[in-house]
Amino acid sequence: MRRAALAALLALALVASASPVAAHGNHVEVDSQHSANGTVVVEAVRPLTDGFVVLHRATEDGEIGNPVGHRKIDFDDGFQQNVPVEMDADAWADWPANGSLWVVFHADRDDDGEFDPGVDERASAFGATTSQSVTLAKRDQPASVVAERAQAQQTASATATVDSAVLPDDGFLVLRTETGTDGRVVGTKALDAGAHADVSVDFDSSLFSENRSTVGLYAQLYTDDGDGEFSERDRLVRAGDSPVSTYFLVWQVDENLATTTSEPVVQTPANDDSVVTPTETADATTSESGTSVLGYGVVHAIAALALAAVLLVRR
């Protein structure tokens, strides 16, 4: 009986810990990009507390250095996408052509709504600082891609939607199975220079199979060589050595389930009025149809049940 009771308690503990929000607590997602005025596009923020997305200059040895800009984040707003964070003017004035930048989530420890580097410490998850290091390129025209959502986006066909793509020149939005120039190209869409929202790109349906209904894709930017057709002669847009791209998941579902219903908070960069704010994306706890997506919570529940079964069999 003791082992049976222990199994039940462990199962309950694991299931209770399976919240999708907890799995992504105080998380920031950002990719290498171009900026024309010091604005950094943070792709996604999942807060568990009130806090701040803070830009830090990297030190000479690549560690997190001094803060050079920040933006307040409210827990009540939940999952946020396409969040612009402005770099301080002095820091931007001497920013190099290709600089290393850390984007870090800091909790508002004293609850005063003001960022204080000496008080509002870096948040952590699973013992590690909640942060990402990227290359920020200083250019005349911005370039960025945003596609990550709170859950894998749903499709009844082989079509993916990139929520925001900002091209420095006429070119292409390209979907690959791997980052950089590795992996095969599975979809392309010609786009003019400038900002585009909710860009639908058809991709090779063979990526889905009987045993694989969810695929990971890299959305990348290429500039056209002048012929209007995507080819190996077109140039991958990079920030330093890093591609301007993003990784996201696409989940193939029955046509009746692929209906968008939820609307997370989306922050549109204020420096570009041509960007249309995406609205039809998923929130932090449900899929686009309002139903839970197989993921962190389900895995924990399965693990809990398996553990309970093992302990009961060994009674």
Please tell me the distance from the alpha carbon of residue 252 to that of residue 258, in angstroms, as a whole number: 8
- 85 in the same domain as 71: yes
- Please indicate, yes or no, whether residues 35 and 141 belong to a single structural domain of this protein: yes
For 199, the 3-state DSSP assignment is: strand
| Structural domain span for residue 61 | 20-284
**Residues 148, 215 within the same domain:** yes
User: What integer pLDDT is reported at residue 121 of this predicted model?
Assistant: 92
- Answer whether residue 168 shows pLDDT above 80: yes
Local confidence band at 301 (pLDDT 50, 70, 90 cut-offs): very low
| Contact by Cβ (8 Å): 38, 50 | no
For residue 296, pLDDT over 60 is answered with no
More confident call, 109 vs 9: 109
**What integer best gives the mean pLDDT of the chain?**
81
Please indicate, yes or no, whether residues 188 and 242 belong to a single structural domain of this protein: yes
Are 142 and 291 within one domain? Answer: no
Contact 54/106 with Cβ under 8 angstroms? yes
Q: Based on the fold, state whether residues 92 and 65 are members of the same structural domain.
A: yes
Place 179 in a pLDDT band, splitting at 50, 70 and 90: confident
Higher pLDDT, 50 or 19: 50
What stretches of 40-93 show up as alpha helix (H) in DSSP?
Answer: 89-93
> What is the per-residue pLDDT across 111-148, written as a single tens digit (0 to 9) for each?
999 999 989 999 987 778 889 999 999 999 999 999 99
Q: Which has the higher per-residue pLDDT, 210 or 145?
A: 145
CA angle 174, 178, 183 (to 5 degrees): 85
Asked if 27 and 175 sit in the same domain, the reply is yes
Angle formed at CA 143 by CA 142 and CA 146, multiple of 5 degrees: 125
More confident site: 180 or 305: 180
Domain count within the chain: 2
- How far, in Å, are 25, 127, 225, 241, 264 from residue 134 at the CA level? 20, 21, 27, 11, 25
pLDDT at 266: 52
| Per-residue model confidence (pLDDT) at position 211 | 74
Tally of CB atoms within 10 A around 230: 18
Backbone angles phi, psi at 12, to 5 degrees: -65, -40
**Which among 91, 104, 121 has a CA at the least distance from the CA of 53?**
104
Say yes or no to pLDDT of 263 above 80. Answer: no
Say if residue 172 is in the same domain as residue 104.
yes
- Give 75-99 pLDDT, tens digit per residue: 999 999 999 999 999 999 999 999 9
* Same-domain pairing of 210 and 68: yes
Whether residue 146 sits in one domain with residue 265: yes
Answer yes or no: do 157 and 300 share one domain: no
Q: How confident is the model at residue 8 (pLDDT cuts 50, 70, 90)?
A: very low
Whether residues 305 and 258 fall in one domain: no
